[in-house]
Amino acid sequence: MPDLEQAARATGVMSILAVSVHYAARRIRHSVARAIEYQTGEAQLEIAFEGVNVGKPMVLALDRQNLESLNAALLAVNFGRLGDQADLAYADGPLWLIQQAAGAHVHGIIVAPERPELPYSAIVNAIDAWLPEAIRQVPLRSQ
């Protein structure tokens, strides 16, 4: 996928919410999903899974109400002022990099979705409720 800041500056793009998922246990493919909101009022979700659709992400229609609910949840926990969740380690299990981008502004945090600490658990729950396709798990296949 193109650089997030570059994608957010593309003509007609209003904002992007990106969720990159890294799994420490290599049974699940890493993924990147971007919910893109356009100035026309349309929204779509682009998803790329490690080694599956390299160079051409899947594109899904996105329910605008779900995106608005997710954005409201992020606003409620002051996402733009949060830093990374404390005491994270690479081997903690899944880690999510959640980023919001609009124009040249990009803000992101890293969370451990399996560790329920507020306000991070509220963000994880909002993504799980209103953008479940972004965190869909695709297993690695053994050869």
User: What's the predicted TM-score (pTM) here?
Assistant: 0.91
Task: Tell me if 17 is assigned to some domain.
Answer: yes
Q: What are phi and psi of 91, to 5 degrees?
A: -90, 15
Summarised one tens digit per residue, pLDDT across range 71-114 is 999 999 999 999 999 999 877 689 999 999 998 899 999 999 99
| Measured distance CA(60)–CA(3) in Å, rounded | 20
Q: Which residues contact 100 (CB under 8 A, 6 or more apart)?
A: 15, 16, 17, 18, 74, 79, 80, 106, 107, 108
Tell me, what CATH number does 130's domain have?
3.30.1560
Task: Tell me if 141 is assigned to some domain.
Answer: no
Task: Tell me if 104 is assigned to some domain.
Answer: yes
**For the chain, what is the domain count?**
1
Summarised one tens digit per residue, pLDDT across range 130-140 is 999 999 888 88
Q: Angle between the 64-76 and 120-130 helix axes, to the nearest 10 degrees?
A: 180
Query: Whole domain around residue 115: which residue ranges?
Result: 4-135
